[in-house]
Amino acid sequence: MFVIDSPIGPLGIVVEGDAVVGVRFGARPGESTDHPAAQQLRAYFAGELTDFSVPVEMRGGSEFERAVWGEIAKIPYGEMVTYGAIATALGDPGAARAVGTACNHNPVPVIVPCHRVVGAGGKMVGFGGGLDRKRRLLELEAKTALTRAWG
């Protein structure tokens, strides 16, 4: 694992081969590197990158969790989707809480943007990295989207 500094605290990035297999909040300082994942995360936090292209390998999780992570990966930069909308997209409208649990188990947060998943009515609820980090990520994306739209 290597660690980068970010506006939401140190992030540990686990890479095996060419693929990112984990992102950890609050990692202790460790080896730094110029791996493409580190470069892309730094560009994301600088507001210069809106779509990650590094290979990601989602390990573990149930079939349902992997399906949720697939839906999360489709959420466009700067947008939000509710837990209920993801449950409905997966064919089980009553599974909003299970979607929340799957989001919490996302092994590659930020790159697979579970922070873009919110409660009904846009309510800020749940996030494995804490609500402050979720809010800051959403604010970063909103600011970057506005800057790009309005110059």
Contact 72, 117 (CB under 8 A): yes
User: How does pLDDT run across 101-151, given as a tens digit for each residue?
Assistant: 999 999 999 999 999 999 998 888 888 889 999 999 999 999 988 887 886
Just list the catalytic residues: 114
Q: Which domains occur in the chain, in start order?
A: 2-45 (no CATH), 63-150 (1.10.10.10)
pTM of the full structure: 0.92
Which region, left, alpha or beta, applies to residue 31 given φ > 0 means left and ψ of -120 to 50 means alpha? Answer: beta
* SS3 at position 13: strand
CA-to-CA dists, residue 135 to 50, 69, 103, 144, angstroms: 17, 20, 16, 14
Contact 10, 28 (CB under 8 A): yes
User: How does pLDDT run across 44-83, given as a tens digit for each residue?
Assistant: 999 999 999 999 999 999 999 999 999 999 999 999 999 9
CB-CB neighbours of 72 under 10 Å: 22
User: How does pLDDT run across 2-37, given as a tens digit for each residue?
Assistant: 889 999 999 999 999 889 999 999 888 766 666 899
Tokens matching residue 70: 């697939």
